[in-house]
Amino acid sequence: MRAEPGLPIDGCTFEKEVIRLSSRVISGDAAKSSRRINVVLRTPEPATVSDPEQQLGGKTVPSQGPFADVMKELDQLVGLDNVKELVYEIYALLQIGQYRAEAGLAAGQQVYHMVFKGNPGTGKTTVARIVAKLFQSMGLLQKGHLIEVERADLVGEYIGHTALKTRELIKKAMGGILFIDEAYSLARGGEKDFGKEAIDTLVKAMEDHKNQFVLILAGYSDEMDYFLSTNPGLPSRFPIAIDFPDYTVDQLVQIAELMVKEREYTLIPDSVMRLRQLLTAEKNRTLTAFSNARYVRNLMERSIRHQAVRLLGQYTTTSPGRQELMSIKPEDMRTEKRSIL
Ligand SMILES: Nc1ncnc2c1ncn2[C@@H]1O[C@H](COP(=O)(O)OP(=O)(O)OP(=O)(O)O)[C@@H](O)[C@H]1O
């Protein structure tokens, strides 16, 4: 993937004061910057009477165009109300920013680097991918792709190697989002570790390539809080922090139903009951490391395999009917990892 030059902007900048993010907003030096930038804003068409509308977290947003498609994708995610509200606020900010620019009013620059905090499988990567597309459709990012990396991708083996590897990935992320999973591990070895070199290179790139890419640091809540508290220069550079709480059993059941529906399967009522039992037991068993929707996805994929084996055993001379082919039964839902595939 080739790096693209800077983001096109068109005299539209925004005041930090305009945004009130429901998730935590950390005021910072970067956010205080009042330097004017040129941004071509492809702000979504305002909703009109002839323009059918859709809802996002109870708010009305346009239902046509690329922006609308991404909003639809976001709205289909189960729960995540804080994320949906935040996205609506960014949308509102851009919309009003455009009206302000048209009215000749000044505006400050907004910084969109973020911290995503939560356990595995709580939707951090999924949301980051949607945010990338959303920012592209809003004209904030040129390409809207996501480069997902972890410590091993950034940190090298000798002096200078880390800066080289990190710069290479930043280059790939230009026009999109650089998503660093388990970002706290960059501070693992303290001052002498090469992880420190990766952090310094990232901070420099955030200065040198303002508005050309968005950096998202993701990881467990406690570890991320500790990481940010031990790197005092960092919090002010990440004005948006979003918590991804563990899903409830009800939400996980909804997610499971969505996942099987996408594959044209259904959970019969007894299977939903079995799923509830399994989820409750698993949540109690792994208090801290429960992998949420990822656990559900693995369980559903395993159940689909078990259903195939069951059906093949049952139907030796005839083929199963449509209903049988679609139904996941309680006996298909087993937690052990053993599998034929
Ligand atoms: N709210 C949701 N609604 C529907 N599906 C979801 C939701 N959250 C997560 N998923 C699905 O669960 C799976 C895991 O999600 P994702 O990879 O985004 O989690 P994560 O927080 O990034 O996990 P990790 O930290 O382990 O990488 C994906 O298949 C994703 O589509």
How do the domains of the chain map onto residue ranges?
16-244, 249-332
**Band of residue 71 on the pLDDT scale cut at 50, 70, 90:** confident
Tell me, using a 6 A CB cutoff, whether residue 240 lines ligand 1: no
Residue closest by Cα to atom 17 of ligand 1: 125
CB atoms within 10 A of CB 142: 20
Where does the pLDDT of residue 276 fall: very low under 50, low under 70, confident under 90, or very high at 90 and above?
Answer: very high
Q: CATH top-level class for 16-244?
A: alpha beta
CA nearest neighbour of 309 among 340, 268, 277, 273 = 340
Q: 122 in ligand 1 pocket by Cβ < 6 Å? A: yes
Residue, of 113 and 53, whose pLDDT is higher = 113
Q: Which residue has the tokens 């939903």?
A: 272
φ, ψ for residue 218 (rounded to 5)?
Answer: -125, 155
Phi and psi angles of residue 249, each rounded to the nearest 5 degrees, phi first: -60, -40
Distance from residue 105's CA to the centre of ligand 1 (Å): 41
| 122 CA closest ligand 1 atom index | 21
Query: CB of 173 closer than 6 A to ligand 1?
Result: no
90 is written with which tokens?
Answer: 């960014």
CA–CA separation, 133 vs 4, rounded Å? Answer: 16
Six-digit token pair at 230?
Answer: 């031990």
Counting ligand 1 atoms within 8 A of each CB, the residue from 80, 115, 122 with the most, and so the one to mutate, is 122
Judge contact between 215 and 241, C-beta under 8 A: no
Is the minimum distance from the CB of 28 to ligand 1 under 6 angstroms? Answer: no
Instruction: Please state the pTM of the whole predicted model.
Output: 0.78
| 120 C-beta closer than 6 A to ligand 1 | yes
What pLDDT digit, counting tens, does each position of 172-231 carry? 999 999 999 988 888 876 666 788 888 888 988 988 888 889 999 999 988 888 888 887
Asked whether this chain's domains 16-244 and 249-332 adopt the same fold, the reply is: no
Task: Tell me how far apart the terminal alpha carbons of the chain are, to the nearest angstrom.
Answer: 33
| CA separation for the pair 302, 133 (Å, rounded) | 31
CATH of domain 249-332: 1.10.8.60
- Which distant-in-sequence residues (6+ apart) come within 8 Å of 174 by Cβ? 3, 4, 142, 143, 209, 212, 213
Q: Which helix (H) or strand (E) holds 327?
A: strand 327-328
Neighbour tally for 170: CB within 10 Å: 24
CA 247 to ligand 1: nearest atom: 1
CA of 310 to the centre of ligand 1 (A): 28
Mean pLDDT of the chain: 79
Model confidence at 235: pLDDT above 50: yes
Ligand 1 center–CA 296 separation, angstroms: 10
- Tokens 């993701």, residue located: 218
Q: Once rounded to an integer, what is the mean pLDDT over residues 144-168?
A: 88
Give the distance (Å) from ligand 1 centre to CA of residue 48: 34
Compute the average pLDDT of residues 320-336.
91
What pLDDT, on a 0 to 100 scale, did the predictor assign at position 87? 82
Residue nearest atom 13 in ligand 1 by C-alpha distance: 294
Q: How far apart are CA 207 and CA 236, in angstroms?
A: 13
- Closest ligand 1 atom to residue 219 Cα is 25
Report the atom number in ligand 1 closest to the C-alpha of 77.
Answer: 3
Q: Please tell me the predicted confidence (pLDDT) of residue 334.
A: 84
Crossing angle, helix 269-285 and helix 292-314, to 10 degrees? 140
User: Is 235 close to ligand 1, i.e. is its CB under 6 Å away?
Assistant: no
Q: Which residues are registered as beta bridge partners of 213?
A: none
